[in-house]
Chains A and B, each alone.
Chain A
């Protein structure tokens, strides 16, 4: 069965510092990988995705993520954190499982950017 792990419940970072939110996955076959952000009382918003090609993908709001096949990871990064980046971040993987295209989300990581 496919799975997504976000090992940190919360990440705290000072404003202006680089941030990393970790994600590892387990699938059979080739994964499609996604990051979504969820602000309070709002729906999930798409940030970026990896389908194929360049391992470093750039997304919305200055975020980027690097696909690492050998480590089965897809960590989210940003060079300089903003207070407005404080939110809940979800990693997701899509792959074939049991004959279906399955989408599995991680449990989320709360990012707190400290002014």
Chain B
């Protein structure tokens, strides 16, 4: 079974430019998470989806970050415009409904904003 797929794996952009990350969760997993992991820190939740509904976006900086999961499967996280402080690894995770609380993580997208 394929794991959580994320692309791109690496992205380098200049500040003020837009950037988008894509995630395809494990097939059948209803819950999808986006996290940001700064260097030397643990992951911090940005947004959680149950199917196509964003049920917790309380920690998403909505002035520049947006996310969508239109068909309840894959998801896109966007930053516009990017700032230097957005440099981090963006992790996607998924979980099946009733799956015992275990999240499965993708490899992440490492973003560097210059």
Interface residues of A (CB under 8 A from B): 4, 32, 34, 36, 41-46, 49, 51, 90, 92, 94, 98, 100-108
Chain B residues, CB < 8 A from A34: 101-102
A-B contact pairs, 16 of them (CB 8 A): A34-B102, A36-B105, A42-B107, A43-B107, A44-B43, A51-B101, A94-B101, A100-B56, A100-B58, A101-B48, A101-B56, A102-B45, A103-B33, A104-B42, A105-B42, A106-B42
New A-B pairs, 9, CB < 8 Å, besides A41-B107, A49-B101: A4-B42, A34-B101, A43-B108, A44-B93, A90-B42, A98-B58, A100-B55, A102-B56, A104-B42
Tally B residues with Cβ within 8 Å of A.
24
Report the Cα distance A81→B4, complex, angstroms.
29
The main secondary structure of chain A at its interface with chain B is strand
Is the beta-carbon distance between B102 and A44 smaller than 8 angstroms?
A: no
B100 CB within 8 Å of chain A = yes
CB contact between B43 and one of A90, A94, A98, A102 (< 8 Å): that residue: A90
